Amino acid sequence: MNPAASEKQEYQSFIDNLFRRESGKITSVLTKIFGVKNIELVEDVVQDTLLKALQQWPYSGIPENPAAWLYQSSKNRAIDLLRQSNLKEKYSSEISVLFKSEWSLSHSMNEFFSENEIKDGQLRMIFTCCHPDLPGETQVALALKHLCGFSVKEISKAFLTNEETIAKRLTRAKIKLNSWTIAFEIPTGKEAERRLANVLSTLYLLFNEGYNSSGNKLIRDELMREAIYLTGLITEHPVTAKPEAHALLSLMLFHAARTPARLDEHGSIKLLEEQDRTLWDKMMINQAVYHLELSAAGDKVSEYHLEAGIANEIRKLPEQDKLNNYYLYHSVIGELYLKNNQPEEAKINFTKALQLTESEAEKKLLNRKLNMI
């Protein structure tokens, strides 16, 4: 390969949003070390690291392992901070006992940046940001900021609101979190179920911010991707990998998979039967089915199970011409849209189903549904 071609490949293979993704990971790990109260200090370390990379990489070249470089720089900065004895007492107590000697300091620091520790840190951050005593929108904003590396400006663009609103929301959250002296942990015991339920609900909210948004397409896709990424983390950790988490991930993937076919040239929503199925993302659908199967464990059926199940049934339904005269199909689609807070599409489908059925009972049911919309 000639030098020009290989260099071009190196440049283009540099991962989209790498800095965002890694900043979320580093923030999570460092918050484990320095504690939730010191999150601003943590943000400064991350910022310094990224700015160092901005200054150096253009000259030195992009490292073969960019993430590792970022981790190393953050580790060094964190070690510097920990050496300053006047700050030591402020950090999370479980951590400070590890930093007894010079050798153990570097060694411990490396341990914190292992793959498992990073994932563990991210999960703790998810549970901290998605705290049930905070308003749903605030939880989403916190997750976007600390886990997904979004700035206040970027969050406000995603919510189609102004920066001041988001900044205030985050400040109020910080004050609350500080006053609760919150532990940075994955909840266990009795609390675990309630906390997980809340996390899933918040991640679904984040997903829908993207899915239902009338804003910029790139931002919409990004929000769905982040929700899928975070829910994926939940399904990967043995403590949190409950069936309902798999069901939620499955349903997100089904919806996201259909996105390329969902809108027409004018940005209006296309009904399922009008969508070009070849545009559906096959890989996402395969992943959706995979998680749906994992969600079948146990005997609890959550709302996410139902939605994912419906989404799967729709995917399996026969091709277009057979579908159009099938009233049950339109009924089911209508239900799906209703559950997804898409009343207009629901109305269209229930009306079509009404036209296609001969059963009086079905007609009554459909009319009732239509009147409720």
> Which residue ranges make up the site for another protein (CB under 8 A)?
4, 7, 11, 14, 17-20, 22-23, 46-47, 50-51, 53-59, 61-62, 149-151, 153-154
Minimum gap (Å) between residue 279 Cβ and another protein: 27
The SS3 call for residue 263 is: strand
Residue 159 parent element (H or E): none
Q: What is the nearest approach in angstroms of another protein to the Cβ of residue 62?
A: 6
Q: Compare residues 18 and 269 and give the one whose CB is closer to another protein.
A: 18
Backbone angles phi, psi at 4, to 5 degrees: -65, -45
| Minimum distance, C-beta of residue 118 to another protein, in the bound complex (Å) | 16
Distance CA 272, CA 283 (A): 19
Contact 234, 126 (CB under 8 A): yes
**Shorter beta-carbon distance to another protein: residue 171 or 320:** 171
- Tokens 């059925």 correspond to 357
Measure the CA–CA gap between 282 and 256, rounded to whole angstroms.
11
Q: Which of 161, 138, 136, 128 is nearest to 42 (CA)?
A: 128
Question: Which residue, 5 or 97, is less far from another protein as judged by CB?
Answer: 5
Q: Which is nearer to another protein, 70 or 253 (CB)?
A: 70
Nearest-approach distance from CB 212 to another protein, in angstroms: 23
Tokens found for residue 283: 């890989």
Cα Rg of the chain, angstroms? 24
Q: Smallest distance from the beta carbon of 149 to another protein, in angstroms?
A: 4
Least gap, CB of 94 to another protein (angstroms): 28
Task: Give just the sign of the alpha carbon dihedral 229, 231, 235, 240.
Answer: positive
Cβ nearer to another protein, comparing 153 with 322 = 153
Nearest CB to another protein, comparing residues 80 and 185: 80
Neighbour count for residue 227 (Cβ, 10 Å):
28
For another protein, the closer CB: 14 or 180: 14
Give min distance, CB of 23 to another protein, in A.
Answer: 4
Q: Which is nearer to another protein, 47 or 212 (CB)?
A: 47
DSSP H stretches of helix in the chain: 3-12, 18-34, 39-60, 66-83, 85-88, 93-96, 102-112, 115-129, 136-142, 152-158, 163-179, 190-211, 217-236, 243-262, 282-295, 303-316, 320-323, 327-339, 343-356, 360-372
Question: Which amino acid is it at 295?
Answer: S
Match 């899915």 to its residue by tokens.
211
Q: How far is the CB of 68 from another protein (least distance, A)?
A: 16
- Residue 144 is given by DSSP the state I
* Alpha-carbon distance values, 77 to 84, 214, 221 (Å): 11, 41, 34
Q: Which is nearer to another protein, 145 or 291 (CB)?
A: 145
Query: What is the smallest separation between the CB atom of 54 and another protein, expressed in angstroms?
Result: 4
